[in-house]
Structure 1
Amino acid sequence: MSGKIKLVSPIDGAVHVERDILSPDQARDAVARARAAQPEWAARPLDERIGLVMAGIDALIAMNDEIVPELARMMGRPVRYGGEMGGVRERADYMAGIATSALAPQIAEDSDAFHRELRREPVGVVFVIAPWNYPYLTAINAILPALMAGNSVVLKHASQTLLAGDRLARAMHQGGVPKDVFQNLILDHATTEALIAERSFGFVNFTGSVGGGQAIERAAAGGFTGTGLELGGKDPGYVAEDADLDAAVDGLMDGAMFNSGQCCCGIERIYVHDSLYDAFVARAADWVRDLRLGDPLDPETTMGPMAHARFARLVRDQIGDAIAAGARPLIDAGGFPADDGGAYLAPQVLVDVTHDMRVMREESFGPVVGIMRVSGDDQAIELMNDSDYGLTASIWTSDAGRAAKIGNRLETGTVFMNRCDYLDPALCWTGVKDTGRGASLSALGFQAVTRPKSFHLKKVTA
């Protein structure tokens, strides 16, 4: 064996579970089994594949009573929020519903002389490297279309949520997906990169850090393996002068603080029109002061610890640097006695911030948000675009036409109006700049895990 991966619970800093890491040869054998099993899986009728995958989803959802406290122990999300299965069901139902049309051949001609059509065929083995912050929702974005399209799937889950990978495999196997078609492997970084470099996969889907995405691109260089990379984010919100103030405060602050700020499309910076700025800031601070930081297994807790003490340390450093540079904190950490200097981190709202500060430029991925005053749309757009990232942007206004015009000028993957921090399975989930590349969900999610194949058949006539 190559050692062990240990999952340290943020609740108490103790090792919650550990798993043996597969050796490189064991990993290669597993991938070879996935490759060997894929053609038979792809040969099954599409409706049959969809049915088996959806039976796996049903099995997963049936585990929810166990999954919710398990997530709290693994990554700190409070049990009061009930897990991720509502979103799992929504995405699974939608992707199953469009699979037939998304994968249907496109007929260019069917005449006495020619039959010409474009088909989508599976790429073979899809490698899914899933993150810990939404360990089920993010994983199924790639797993569902890959399996339905006829690929086999190898899953490598994050070390912070090892048990999520176990449960996904158990559920899919209970549903009837063959064991070699869906495998959950415990891999270290070196073996992961070696497998990619050896062209073991037809497609690699990764959700994680910019550094992780760069490592995957380096490993895949020259091998022509397709990659889908959802990386960092610094998602902005803009509150225009005609916004519903209460709705904007509730929506944006929930987007900033839910899951202790550990959301891929969480709100990390807010720009408010001058006419609403003072009122917004006051209500936002009150909103945050009402949060209850504590044990995520306590149903009264509304904010649990961050997933790891090192993640909280980064956020504390950003806050400290901003305050030293002139930012003003609105939240007294003393109002959150559970803040222990480790994984339990009090939320913070900062004003008098600038884009010279790390907290307004670097990904925080924690319960902190900076708020700036702006004079109007042009200044807001300039500041929203002043980022290395581009996943989502949230516009709060009563005018849909205005939101669309602003959205046309934003460098982002998704434009929201009067909401944030949500993935619509009917729309493509994608990003620009250092947020990465590729597409998941929607019909484009099926295209990511298939390749086009053209048939040009000339009919012989007497």
Structure 2
Amino acid sequence: MTSNKPIQQTRSPIDNSVYVERDLASSEDIQNSLRASVIAQAHWRKVALKERAAICHKMVDALVANTDEIATELCWMMGRPIQYASGEVVGLAERARYMIDVAAEALAPVNLPELSGFIRYIKREPLGTAFVIAPWNYPYLTSINTIIPAIMAGNSVVLKHSKQTPLCAEQLFKAFEQAELPEGVFQYLHLSHVDTQTVIKDSRIDYVAFTGSVAGGDMIEQAASGRFIGVGLELGGKDPAYVRADADIDHAVATCIDGAFFNSGQSCCGIERIYVNSCVFDEFISKAVELVNKYKLGRPDDINTTLGPLVTASGAALVRSQIQDALSKGATAHIDAKDFPLDEIGTAYLAPQLLTQVNHQMRVMTEESFGPVVGVMKVDNDEQAIALMNDSAFGLTAVVFTQDIEAAITLGEQLDTGTFFVNRCDYLDPGLAWTGVKHSGRGCTLSALGYESLTRPKSFHIKL
């Protein structure tokens, strides 16, 4: 029987073919889902934490057991090279298991000092239903940051995944089913933008977690306005790296280039601009260009490919326009696109590019690129580097490469950023709070602190 519902199509960046087609949820589907979520949460919040943990661990086990299928789907849905695609399941397992194991500590009551005649403590109670809106670029890693702590804290979850990666929502649902999570505690909906706003405005939603663009974050805040609910926003970045004169240059080059070009540069915490001390600038550029030229741009289902297409041709067009803007203003391009035969205007396939003679009047140094391009600027000292690193509308991560750790920490304390790295980048340690400043968003996921936004404190003040 043919469905009369609107259709959502996922076109693969590999060849622009339709890889997935799904019905969008109807108004009735949405109402049924929200109703079931509220009913299920009322029971789930009473389930012992130990039992919640066992179910969540089983869910992770189910996903890990299905790694090969998940990797193939990621390759076709968002273009990640198949040789790297399974790594997302590994990362998910690490984060999820950490957040499961830290729950007892994060959710433990806060007992106040003894006061004669009184008992006083603070409990952390679940909010109700969390609505998670996940992106396509790291579809499992970004969504699990909220899903696991929300469920461990006693909430129910409704997931809306990107139309580019709808199978991720279905894989998560299947894994929770296999783990025998009670029905209604975790659900997913394939939604239009309009219906997404409708769900946010519904009184049965108690928290919204969104990862995506600044424009998308603005829409989320407007939809939630006046509801007085928590909203967590991770909105991307223009993350800088600074290579000091005393840095291990080989290590700095390898780390920066991987941070800039892994996942075709489509990472909110990837390196998008690099500042290098003038004493080591030429050496850095020479080694960086040599390394970039070793990438193989190709179909991501080819095991030899190290650089896949961007997720859409429009994304590639944006990066091309930033590169052209920089070149028109005096930048120098160090990579010849002709050495990457699949690079073609109008497609999602784009050669990597490294630019010098760049400045902050160029879009490539100020706008989020979300593609395989990085600009490298020469600086004379720490003060100049810090000023340039902070000269951004974003503040998600920043990194300094140096052998002087004490000096690095001093620099890190001056940076407007959510996470500060030394001698590494583009990695989320689940034991550390993941947060951003400025247009990179607000709120916190991961670590014990990640539970705070998914619970509310309730004080008990008892006179004996």
TM-score, normalised relative to structure 1 = 0.98
Question: d(CA) in 2 for partners of 1:214 and 1:28?
Answer: 25
In structure 2, the residue matched to 1:272 is 276
What are the within-5 Å matches in structure 2 for residues 231-380 of structure 1? 231-341=235-345, 342-380=347-385
Instruction: Measure how far apart 1:232 and its partner are.
Output: 2.2
Instruction: Measure how far apart 1:54 and its partner are.
Output: 1.1
Query: What's the % identity of the aligned pairs?
Result: 54
1:125–1:154 CA contact under 8 A, matched in 2: yes
Number of equivalences: 459
2:40–2:183 CA contact under 8 A, matched in 1: no
1:395 aligned counterpart, secondary structure: strand
Instruction: Measure how far apart 1:112 and its partner are.
Output: 6.2
Kindly provide the amino acid, as one letter, of the partner of residue 63 in structure 2. Answer: L
Which structure 1 residue ranges, 5 or more long, are not aligned? none
Question: d(CA) in 2 for partners of 1:179 and 1:267?
Answer: 41
The counterpart of 1:450, out of the listed 440, 450, 455, is 455
1:319 aligned counterpart, secondary structure: helix
Question: d(CA) in 2 for partners of 1:54 and 1:312?
Answer: 38
In structure 2, the residue matched to 1:28 is 31
In structure 2, the residue matched to 1:53 is 56
Instruction: Measure how far apart 1:179 and its partner are.
Output: 2.8
The answer to whether the aligner puts 1:181 opposite 2:209 as a matched pair is no
Q: Deviations over 1:48-67 (max 9, x none)?
A: 00110111011011110111
2:37 aligned counterpart, secondary structure: helix
Q: Deviations over 1:222-256 (max 9, x none)?
A: 11011000002000000000000000000000000
The answer to whether the aligner puts 1:94 opposite 2:98 as a matched pair is yes
The answer to whether the aligner puts 1:200 opposite 2:199 as a matched pair is no
1:109–1:115 CA contact under 8 A, matched in 2: no
**Runs of 4+ more than 4 Å apart:** 109-112
The answer to whether the aligner puts 1:157 opposite 2:161 as a matched pair is yes
2:415 aligned counterpart, secondary structure: coil
In structure 1, the residue matched to 2:431 is 426
In structure 2, the residue matched to 1:388 is 393
Instruction: Measure how far apart 1:75 and its partner are.
Output: 0.4
The counterpart of 1:410, out of the listed 388, 395, 415, is 415
In structure 2, the residue matched to 1:85 is 89
The CA RMSD measured in Å over matched residues stands at 1.0
TM-score, normalised relative to structure 2 = 0.97
1:77–1:304 CA contact under 8 A, matched in 2: yes
Instruction: Measure how far apart 1:97 and its partner are.
Output: 1.7
Instruction: Measure how far apart 1:194 and its partner are.
Output: 1.4
2:5–2:23 CA contact under 8 A, matched in 1: yes
2:10–2:164 CA contact under 8 A, matched in 1: yes
Kindly provide the amino acid, as one letter, of the partner of residue 381 in structure 2. Answer: G
Question: d(CA) in 2 for partners of 1:63 and 1:111?
Answer: 54
1:347–1:367 CA contact under 8 A, matched in 2: yes
1:53–1:176 CA contact under 8 A, matched in 2: no
Instruction: Measure how far apart 1:111 and its partner are.
Output: 6.1
In structure 2, the residue matched to 1:15 is 18
The counterpart of 1:399, out of the listed 383, 401, 404, is 404
The counterpart of 1:123, out of the listed 121, 127, 136, is 127
The answer to whether the aligner puts 1:5 opposite 2:8 as a matched pair is yes
Question: d(CA) in 2 for partners of 1:94 and 1:194?
Answer: 33
In structure 1, the residue matched to 2:176 is 172
